[in-house]
Amino acid sequence: MLVMFGTALLAVCYLLGIVAGDALGILIGVKANVGGVGFAMILLIASLHFAHTRGVMTVGAERGVTFWAALYIPVVVAMSATQNVVVAFKSGIVAVLGAAGSVVVCACMIAVINRVIERRGVDPAWQNALPSAESD
């Protein structure tokens, strides 16, 4: 049952991400989903962190998320492979600026997250998930 909770959490994050990507596409005037899968991943990471800090995430629920997360990356690669980059460049500067802006924002967010983690130290709930230097 708890494995299904993890799967449901992933599904809800994916659906909310797709809705956010469609809304962003409409907002900037592009007839496409803009960053829906990225929003879904951010929501999943945030909800997992929230669940871990509250003690709600159990081993069974984490198995459900881990199972689908292992399949998630190949799905994202397959989805991005079907996008037509040439048409995006021909459609105007908005697509190019959107792509460049998303790369810059992601790089900045990774830097911020790394600094926060370094200042706080590793959360004990996540410590077992991280590979240790001694195991190499």
Total-model pTM: 0.52
pLDDT score at 82: 59
pLDDT band at 136 (very low <50, low <70, confident <90, very high): very low
Residue 76 has pLDDT above 70, yes or no: no
Q: For 82, phi and psi rounded to 5 degrees?
A: -85, -10
Report the distance separating Cα 114 and Cα 108, nearest Å. Answer: 10
CB atoms within 10 A of CB 24: 17
CA atoms within 13 A on the CB side of 43: 19
Higher pLDDT, residue 21 or 4: 21
Report the distance separating Cα 94 and Cα 1, nearest Å. Answer: 45
